[in-house]
Amino acid sequence: MGFEEVEVLSRDYVKIGETAGWEDVQALLSEVGLSPRDLAHTVASIKVRARELAAG
């Protein structure tokens, strides 16, 4: 299974210090056992639109 087309809608970059207090960021990090110090200095948020390959 794959995708026929992937379109990048936006790319946003934020300094990790600005995101460390965000609850959703804290939740994602805790799920994988990381802390903000374990990350690089920038967090990327990339939104895409993908279309599945037609079956057959």
Number of domains into which the chain is organized: 1
Higher pLDDT, 27 or 15: 27
User: Is the predicted pLDDT of residue 31 greater than 60, yes or no?
Assistant: yes
Q: Of 48, 54, 45, 53, which is closest to residue 7 (Cα–Cα)?
A: 48
Burial class (CB in 10 A: 0-12, 13-18, 19+), 54: exposed
Q: Where do runs of H (alpha helix) occur along 1-56?
A: 16-19, 23-31
User: Is the predicted pLDDT of residue 9 greater than 80, yes or no?
Assistant: yes
What is the mean predicted confidence (pLDDT) over 30-51?
77
Burial class (CB in 10 A: 0-12, 13-18, 19+), 29: middle
Residue 35's domain spans which residues?
Answer: 3-52
What is the mean predicted confidence (pLDDT) over 9-35?
78
- The pTM score is 0.36
Cα(22)–Cα(37) distance, rounded to whole angstroms?
15
